[in-house]
Amino acid sequence: MNTSLIILIVAAVVIVSVCYSLYVKVIKAKNDVFEALSGIDVQLKKRYDLIPNILTIAQKFMDHETELFNKITELRTKAINSESGTKEKFRAEAQLDTQLKALMVNVENYPTLKSDATMVQAMATYNEVEEHIAAARRFYNSALKILKNTIEIFPGSLFAGFAAKAATFSYFETDDAAKASIDANKYLK
């Protein structure tokens, strides 16, 4: 066999191997983003399921907080119906989070509610779910960063089309309302 033909075959194998490994890297990064997004959705589902229970318990003690309950219910519905990975979803989640924190501050106003065993358990579960949501969001942001770096840097950018949908997702960022501290005086009487 001719040495130039051997060199040509080896070069072709190397090029195909490099292209394939880049393709695999982009696909793995895309799948990591979808997995992370799914992890957030699982944790949010736990939150969505917990909210009606918390509101039901709190409503027994906090009859005149109807506006807050309605706002939380409205934001829960909006968050559930928003498409995963979009700024709209993240904005709705941040607003819901702000209202839930306000509810938790408001619970402090009701010693009977605050000491109710069911409410104590619900609040502990809520805090645990919030920690899991935060961890899932960090994992998602990390996976999205890896994907975006992979498809924005040459030669990975040659395979960006294979991750087009995931590449349009937004990072999870809290809005200004969620970053602001809650004024407890507004809720405490």
CA distance 39 to 133: 8
Tens of pLDDT along 135-184? 999 999 999 999 999 888 888 888 888 888 887 888 877 666 555 565 55
Output the CA torsion 6→11→14→20 (10° steps): -120
Angle between helices 87-107 and 66-81 (to 10 degrees): 150
- pTM of the model as a whole: 0.74
User: What Cα–Cα distance (Å) separates residue 89 from each residue in 66, 77, 78, 145?
Assistant: 24, 11, 8, 19
Supply the pLDDT for residue 114: 76
Rounded-to-integer distance, Cα 143 and Cα 137, Å: 10
What is residue 66's predicted lDDT score, i.e. its pLDDT? 80
Where in the chain are the domains?
A: 3-187
Does position 187 have pLDDT exceeding 70, yes or no? no
> What's the rounded mean pLDDT across residues 76-103?
88
Nearest to 148 by CA among 127, 133, 170: 170
Rounded (10°) CA dihedral 127, 131, 133, 134: 130
Sort 7 into a burial class: Cβ within 10 Å, 0-12 / 13-18 / 19+.
exposed
The CATH superfamily of 3-187 is: LemA-like domain (1.20.1440.20)
Closest CA to 74 of 90, 96, 56: 96
